């Protein structure tokens, strides 16, 4: 038998054997077919990669070198706010960049840079695996890949762009020296503050030439590359500042790991605070503040990243209403700036600052903000800062939490008419830390309702009520209503949290009160209607913006009950009496903090919510300074200048529009999601009718909270020591400037009664006023 015949016989035998197999087995390919297919696929892949490597050229630098402007527009879509986005970059050669700067960037961004061939397959696989494990989106790009993306390609997130990036990175690594690649990366990267390239970054953050950067400064600039805007410690939130410092430490630790830095030098390094941001050209007046709010929203919402935004070419239509924005500026000028006399009162009438925001409750649209008088002179956006305590403007949150709880910790009902002991400096019972806050002017109010305690902003009552509601519930309610959970001063381990140690921004606070105005439906404030960019080829980029559907924060009955109480604050006897000049249905709350370091008014009509905060800050040290003496007033309470600014702005903003009435459905039908309270008490009373002056004492029934925490039956009439009589009406425009005793309705003379003993134990190191200085809010 010949060789050919033997082969034919074997093939025939294999065919017969295969025919004898079950059908399912015959459908499976043989190992020969499988091996052949895999080999063919591998050869095709290698061949395809080789072909692509040859045919994909290293392109010319992209058009990013030609600066484009971002155009910001008011909500009408035609009125321009500002033009920004010109690329601020000065290229430098690698020999001008200190070696420790180069090493810091390698340590922060790509620790295999000097060993890899332009790509890091292991890093890409690791990043993809971590992403699949739910550890967040992670990148595995090398410095070479990032340089290719910045210099040759675009920031588009497509598979085609990523494939080209890999191929070009391989070519660039083969064709160029590592020093040249690193120089290109350092010169093309974005560092925040409008600075592209390491030279511009050195000037923007430290006011020095790149050659003068120190090791700690270099490590900080390298750390910025991961999140330029978020990690700018001069403008970052406290949480983001901590992340920036952690990234700085990561960079230095990497330098030690790679042998660039000794352990001793690492230990000696201290964090190098950068200089204050310098104003950008073209952002004078209010423009810079509005642009800052819009940029912050676009980046924080994930619509686009900072580098893509700063690359320019975007047409951004904001939610800002120009007439309302102009009205806010004029209100501050008329009610504050014109009353200041820095020459006559240099120690009190200088460095006075205002933070303000105005939000549409039904949609969450930001209609106006006040971040400062002129961005060219003060490049800090006070409307976004989160370092001023809000004082008694937090009390409505305490009340909402109590209504949600429906019962105190010991089982007694909480309603707007529940009675509490208003004795000044009465020790709070049941709190995690000792606390006995004084009332305004140390007035003892006796047995009063929660409604009346809100009207007079009685600290002793709401310090206890917040504890009764549960501090964890108070914090949760604050977050649901709109206060970010990252702000300082909202630790349930500190009893003082109840009186406003929290430090949300004016915009955060406006969003929180807008939730109350919107019957418990919460919107995160947003400031961009749309954005688009026309590319050189004619294609239009239109990134998808987030949806703005409301979330259920608290039930309508709870929110409307709080609004009903806050309407009484804006009454002749209330601390917000000055807001009566608006002449419309209004609800609001005043707030002033310890040492008169800040004063607030947060209020709303059915159609518009606005907050105004006032504080003083040393321009060099940025330390807060007391407001006492400002504009010639002994003390600045929330019911004084902040309320007057609010009223002037709201009068202009709502001028010519029909007056809307509050559509309130008070009650406690549904406390909202996430709460499981017990049954609502059957005893209730009717709130005073709109337009009438409420009686100073609440209903004739209800639980009374005594200093010891034991409920008693409320008296049917005021005790002899009674509640303070209604204060004077709001001064007319012709009246003299209010003094410290005139700018709020005055309580009756202090009752003579025995005060419970004060706590003798000082606050512990675990919390309380020692950890978070207690805001002892006054009206």
Report the candidate in 341, 356, 387 with the shortest Cα–Cα distance to residue 293: 356
Is residue 744 over pLDDT 60?
Answer: no
* CA–CA dist 663, 660 (Å, integer): 9
Is residue 528 over pLDDT 50?
Answer: yes
pLDDT of 132 reads: 59
For the segment 657-695, what is each residue's pLDDT rounded down to a tens digit?
Answer: 999 999 999 975 444 444 333 332 222 333 332 333 333
pLDDT of 125 reads: 66
Is residue 286 over pLDDT 80?
Answer: yes
What tokens does 685 get? 């009373």
**CB contact at 8 A, 332 and 645:** yes
Find how far residue 592's CA is from the centre of its chain. 22
> Does pTM surpass 0.85?
no
Q: Which pLDDT band holds residue 777 (cuts at 50, 70, 90)?
A: very low
Is residue 456 over pLDDT 90?
Answer: yes
For the segment 202-243, what is each residue's pLDDT rounded down to a tens digit?
Answer: 999 999 999 999 999 999 999 999 999 899 999 888 899 999
Count the alpha carbons within 13 Å of 504 in the hemisphere toward its beta carbon: 28
Q: Which pLDDT band holds residue 312 (cuts at 50, 70, 90)?
A: confident
**CB contact at 8 A, 653 and 605:** no
pLDDT of 5 reads: 79
Report the candidate in 141, 211, 147 with the shortest Cα–Cα distance to residue 181: 147
Mean pLDDT over the full length of the chain: 81
Nearest 10 degrees: CA dihedral of 120, 122, 123, 128? 120
* CA–CA dist 363, 369 (Å, integer): 16
pLDDT of 716 reads: 28
**CB contact at 8 A, 149 and 61:** no
For the segment 539-598, what is each residue's pLDDT rounded down to a tens digit?
Answer: 788 999 999 999 999 999 999 999 999 999 999 999 999 999 999 999 999 999 988 999
Question: Minimum mean pLDDT among 235-249, 396-410, 739-753: which range?
Answer: 739-753
Query: Of the segments 92-101, 166-175, 352-361, 531-540, which one has the largest average pLDDT value?
Result: 352-361
For the segment 343-357, what is each residue's pLDDT rounded down to a tens digit?
Answer: 999 999 999 999 999
Find how far residue 529's CA is from the centre of its chain. 19
* CA–CA dist 640, 141 (Å, integer): 56
> Residue 202 belongs to what H/E stretch?
helix 198-206
6 or 714: which leads in pLDDT: 6
**CB contact at 8 A, 638 and 391:** yes
Q: How many CB atoms lie within 10 A of CB 212?
A: 11
**CB contact at 8 A, 544 and 606:** no
For the segment 11-29, what is each residue's pLDDT rounded down to a tens digit?
Answer: 777 777 777 777 776 667 7
Tokens 């330029």, residue located: 228
**CB contact at 8 A, 208 and 231:** no
- Percentage of residues of the chain with pLDDT beyond 70: 76
* CA–CA dist 580, 149 (Å, integer): 58
Q: Where are the alpha helices (DSSP H) in 20-114?
A: 23-27, 31-55, 99-109
**CB contact at 8 A, 637 and 592:** yes
Give the pLDDT mean for 251-277: 96
What tokens does 777 get? 């809010």
pLDDT of 127 reads: 59
pLDDT of 594 reads: 85
Q: Which pLDDT band holds residue 724 (cuts at 50, 70, 90)?
A: very low
Measured in degrees and rounded to the nearest 5, phi and psi for residue 119 equal -130, 160
Give the pLDDT mean for 736-764: 34
468 or 58: which leads in pLDDT: 468
Give the pLDDT mean for 126-143: 60
For the segment 187-202, what is each residue's pLDDT rounded down to a tens digit?
Answer: 888 999 888 889 989 9
Q: Which residues pair with 602 in a beta bridge?
A: 589, 611
What letter does residue 522 receive in the DSSP assignment?
Answer: E
Is residue 732 over pLDDT 80?
Answer: no
Give the pLDDT mean for 695-715: 37
Q: Where are the alpha helices (DSSP H) in 549-640?
A: 556-569
Tokens 């010519």, residue located: 656
């Amino acid at each position: 038998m010949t060789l050919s015949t033997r082969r034919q016989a074997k093939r025939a035998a294999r065919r017969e054997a295969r025919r004898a197999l079950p059908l399912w087995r015959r459908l499976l390919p043989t190992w020969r077919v499988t091996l052949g297919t895999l080999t063919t696929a591998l050869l095709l892949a290698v061949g395809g990669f080789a072909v692509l490597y040859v045919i994909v050229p290293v392109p010319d630098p992209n058009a990013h070198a030609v600066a484009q402007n971002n155009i910001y527009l008011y909500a009408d879509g035609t009125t321009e706010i500002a033009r920004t986005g010109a690329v601020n970059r000065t290229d430098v050669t690698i020999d001008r960049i200190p070696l420790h700067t180069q090493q810091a960037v390698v340590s922060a961004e790509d620790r295999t840079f000097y060993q890899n061939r332009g790509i890091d397959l292991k890093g890409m696989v690791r990043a993809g695996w971590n992403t699949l494990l739910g550890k967040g989106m992670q990148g595995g790009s090398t410095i070479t890949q990032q340089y290719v993306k910045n210099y040759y390609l675009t920031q588009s997130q497509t598979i085609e762009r990523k494939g080209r990036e890999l191929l070009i990175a391989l070519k660039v690594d083969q064709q160029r020296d590592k020093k040249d690649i690193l120089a290109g990366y350092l010169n093309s990267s974005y560092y925040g503050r409008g600075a592209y390239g390491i030279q511009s970054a050195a000037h923007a953050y430290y006011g020095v030439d790149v050659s003068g950067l120190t090791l700690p400064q270099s490590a900080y600039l390298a750390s910025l590359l991961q999140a330029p805007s978020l990690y700018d410690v001069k403008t970052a939130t406290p949480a983001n500042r901590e992340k920036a410092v952690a990234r700085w430490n990561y960079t230095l630790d990497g330098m030690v790991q790679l042998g660039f830095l000794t352990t001793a030098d690492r230990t000696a390094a201290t964090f190098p605070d950068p200089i204050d941001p310098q104003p950008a050209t073209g952002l004078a007046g209010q423009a810079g503040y509005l642009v800052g709010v819009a940029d912050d929203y676009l980046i924080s919402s994930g619509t686009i990243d900072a580098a893509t935004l700063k690359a320019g070419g975007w047409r951004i239509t904001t939610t800002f209403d120009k007439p309302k924005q102009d009205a806010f500026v004029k209100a501050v000028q008329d009610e504050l700036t014109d009353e200041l006399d820095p020459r006559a009162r240099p120690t009190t009438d200088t460095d006075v600052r205002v933070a303000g925001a105005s939000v549409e409750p039904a949609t969450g649209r930001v209609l106006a903000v006040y971040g400062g008088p002129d961005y060219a002179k003060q490049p800090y956006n006070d409307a976004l800062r989160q370092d001023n305590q809000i004082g008694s403007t937090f009390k409505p949150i305490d009340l909402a939490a109590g209504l949600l709880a429906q019962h105190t910790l010991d089982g007694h009902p909480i309603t707007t008419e529940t009675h509490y002991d208003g004795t000044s400096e009465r020790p709070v019972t049941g709190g995690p830390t000792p606390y006995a806050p004084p009332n305004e002017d140390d007035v003892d109010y006796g047995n009063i309702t929660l409604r009346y305690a809100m009207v007079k902003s009685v600290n002793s009552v709401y310090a206890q009520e917040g504890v009764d509601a549960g501090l964890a519930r108070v914090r949760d309610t604050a977050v649901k209503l709109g206060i970010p959970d990252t702000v300082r001063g909202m630790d349930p381990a500190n009893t003082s949290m109840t009186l406003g140690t929290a430090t949300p921004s004016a915009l955060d606070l406006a969003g929180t009160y807008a939730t109350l105005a919107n019957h418990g439906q919460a919107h995160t404030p947003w400031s961009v209607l749309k954005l688009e960019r026309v590319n050189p080829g004619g294609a239009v980029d239109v990134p998808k913006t987030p949806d703005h559907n409301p979330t259920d924060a608290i039930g309508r009955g709870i929110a409307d009950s709080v609004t009903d109480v806050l309407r009484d604050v804006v009454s002749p006897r209330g601390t917000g009496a000055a807001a009566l000049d608006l002449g419309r249905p209004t609800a609001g709350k005043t707030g002033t903090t310890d040492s008169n370091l800040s004063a607030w008014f947060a209020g709303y009509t059915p159609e518009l919510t606005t907050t105004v905060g006032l504080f003083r800050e040393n321009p060099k040290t940025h330390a807060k300074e007391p407001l006492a003496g400002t504009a010639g007033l002994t003390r600045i309470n929330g019911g004084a200048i902040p309320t007057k600014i609010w009223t002037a702005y709201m009068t202009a903003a709502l001028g010519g529009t029909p007056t809307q009435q509050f559509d309130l459905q008070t009650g406690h039908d549904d406390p909202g999601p996430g709460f499981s309270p017990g049954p609502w008490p059957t005893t209730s009373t009717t709130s005073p009718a709109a337009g009438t002056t409420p009686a100073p004492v609440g209903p004739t029934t209800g639980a009374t909270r005594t200093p010891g925490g034991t409920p008693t039956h409320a008296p049917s009439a005021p005790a002899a020591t009674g509640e303070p009589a209604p204060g004077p009406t709001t001064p007319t425009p012709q009246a003299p400037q209010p003094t410290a005793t005139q700018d709020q309705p005055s309580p009756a003379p202090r009752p003579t009664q025995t005060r419970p003993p004060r706590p003798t134990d000082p606050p512990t190191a675990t919390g309380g006023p020692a950890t978070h200085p207690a805001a002892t809010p006054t009206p």
